[in-house]
Structure 1
Amino acid sequence: MNVLQFKAPPLPHYITSGFVSDFPAGSKHVGRQNVGVFDLLVVTKGCLYLREEDRSYEVGEGCTLILRPDQAHYPTRPCTETTQHYWLHFQTTGEWSVSDALLPSGGPVSEEEQSSPAWSLEARPFHLQLPQFSRLQKPDSAHSLLARLVALNVSAHLDGARWKQEALFQELLQQLAAEAPGTGPSPGVICARQAAAYLREHYREDVTVQAMGGSLNFHPIYIARCMQAEYGCSPVEYLLRYRMEQAKLLLLQTDYPVTRIAEEVGFNQAAYFTARFTKYEGLSPRRYRQRFAHT
């Protein structure tokens, strides 16, 4: 199975779409090469017979196929019955690639992702994975989204309509990605995410790994192993970094003294908070605030 992997941000963006309601028996989908956009086909009746590179596809009712912008595609045989299908063109200005298998959802993060992790104030990169060919588990839902997209074409000259189309397209992509088989998180990823949620919820408190383990019903050593694989750090380091980012937000958004900020983010002693913040950020809390002070 070919899988299209899009690195975001930016997300893929919608261009245009349509619906072919009467594609009679004996007709063939047009052959094209290097069209420069992705072409999503969703068949609602009948079947389209296509080939791209060394792969042939029978895109029957309830199936989807995404044709790549950098490859030639052509029909392998005419339709044997009247066929109806939606088509949708989209593109991305970001990086994308093709793999022969789905990556596990929430697998080990790369060095680049670790440098911009979940606690960072910067956007965290992620991947959107779409099977190039798939059979929809919820075809009616996808068809409804596509019908609404096509209906908005008559007012696509208006910014409001284009905005709605983009929102519908992102919802469609999310559905296609969620319906792909084998994309569910592994037990280890589930454990790491639950631990991260626990730490985020209790970061103002005196958190211990024993209390977290008891709350999540996982052994602390297993939790640490899972978080290292998922986030590239231990639970203690994750908690410290999250506290530091919350402290940075308070330094930017409030005039609270450093002693109160230390308490707000779970430190009992302001001096210890200042020392850890200085080591983490490279400057003291006061100097960090002064960088953004209006003079």
Structure 2
Amino acid sequence: MDSAILHFISPPIPYFVDCGYAYYGVGDSHIERNCIQVFDLIVVRKGMLSIGENGCSWEINEGEGFILLPDGHHYGDVPCTTDTEIIWIHFQTFGSWQICCDMNECLGKQMELIEEHKKLAYLHHADVSSIFIPKHMKLSPKALEVLETFFQQENEPQSLRNWKRQASFQLFLQHLDREFASPMNDTAIRIADRIELFIRQNYASDITNSVLQEKMNYHPNYLAKAMLKVYGMTPITYLQYYRLEQSKRLLLQTPLSIARIAEEVGFQHVSYYSALFSKKEGLSPTGFRRKFALKR
């Protein structure tokens, strides 16, 4: 099913807000609303719901899901022609997200979105990852089974029920993300993930294109194309990026000197490390530490 893709960055993972059932008889339509400030996931359990958003129309059939945007204009496009039952789930996220036409656009904008997310979510030194959810989707039996758990805790105390629903929602998102990503997992994505894992596990070592060629058994040009497609940068540029991100951890969490930090994350020359850091962050490593770390 071709669909636009909602691209979230985590942590934090998009969080559950509320859920419920809704019923539509023949001739009924979805209510008209504007900018409800939460994502609205609609899953049709029975029948068919015709819905509009910002001038576009969709038919959501039995077993399908659809996500309405928090800043959109929503309305019933055509009255129901059969009795229809839906599950609705409201959720929200903290930080950055975007909607893209296809996976290529998502991957092309991924690093830009990650950098924006880190600033908005105050994740100056945290590892983050992408979550890809289609706007209009066919749900697997397993995903539908997880959905039903949202309504199996009605006799639980409120505090316990809310915890369980958060856990169920995260499991549900995990199913959607994995089911969507599996067909997209072509050779380039698999290779890029192997490179990323190798860099993450060995970033303090001397990693060159020759080393990557030996470990991955592919020509450096092919490795570069794979990383550019998935991460928007070459392996060596990603290595520099990852080293700088790890240095932020040490700047904020340890009293190590700038020279020692440069050495710990794999830079042979502290002057080169400081220049790269300043170019990326707009301030020196020392300035970054002064801005975010309190002196004891």
TM-score by length of 1: 0.71
Report SS of the residue matched to 2:184: coil
- The amino acid across from 1:281 in the alignment is F
Answer yes or no: is 1:70 the counterpart of 2:73. Answer: yes
Compare 236-245 and 198-207 and name the one that shifted more: 236-245
| Shift in CA distance, 14/48, structure 1 to aligned 2, threshold 3 Å | same
| Shift in CA distance, 164/71, structure 1 to aligned 2, threshold 3 Å | same
- Give the CA deviation at 1:5: 2.3
| Shift in CA distance, 194/287, structure 1 to aligned 2, threshold 3 Å | same
Report SS of the residue matched to 1:79: coil
Partner of 1:130: 134
Quick check: 1:102–1:183 contact (8 Å CA) kept in 2?
A: no
Quick check: 1:50–1:75 contact (8 Å CA) kept in 2?
A: yes
| Shift in CA distance, 77/144, structure 1 to aligned 2, threshold 3 Å | closer
TM alignment of 1:192-231, pairs within 5 A: 192-231=192-231
1:90-141 deviation line (CA, Å, top 9, x unaligned): 4557676666x43248622367347569996267585643232x322x22x2
Partner of 2:18: 16
Instruction: Find the aligned partners of 2:58 and 2:116 in 1 and give their Cα distance.
Output: 40
Match of 1:281 among 264, 277, 281: 277
Quick check: 2:96–2:113 contact (8 Å CA) kept in 1?
A: no
- Give the CA deviation at 1:142: 2.3
- The amino acid across from 1:193 in the alignment is D
Partner of 1:166: 166
Partner of 1:184: 184
Partner of 1:55: 57
Gaps of 5+ in 2: none
Report SS of the residue matched to 1:14: strand
1:7-60 deviation line (CA, Å, top 9, x unaligned): 54675443322347xx79x6455431116355433344x423434355352622
Instruction: Find the aligned partners of 2:225 and 2:203 in 1 and give their Cα distance.
Output: 20
- The amino acid across from 2:184 in the alignment is G
Structure number with greater Rg is: 1
Instruction: Find the aligned partners of 2:247 and 2:226 in 1 and give their Cα distance.
Output: 26
Partner of 1:150: 151
- Give the CA deviation at 1:200: 1.9
Instruction: Find the aligned partners of 1:28 and 1:238 in 2 and give their Cα distance.
Output: 55
| Shift in CA distance, 77/142, structure 1 to aligned 2, threshold 3 Å | same
Instruction: Find the aligned partners of 1:225 and 1:215 in 2 and give their Cα distance.
Output: 17
1:222-273 deviation line (CA, Å, top 9, x unaligned): 2123334444443333323333333343344334456654543335xxxx53
| Shift in CA distance, 103/279, structure 1 to aligned 2, threshold 3 Å | same
TM-score by length of 2: 0.71
Task: Give % identity.
Answer: 26
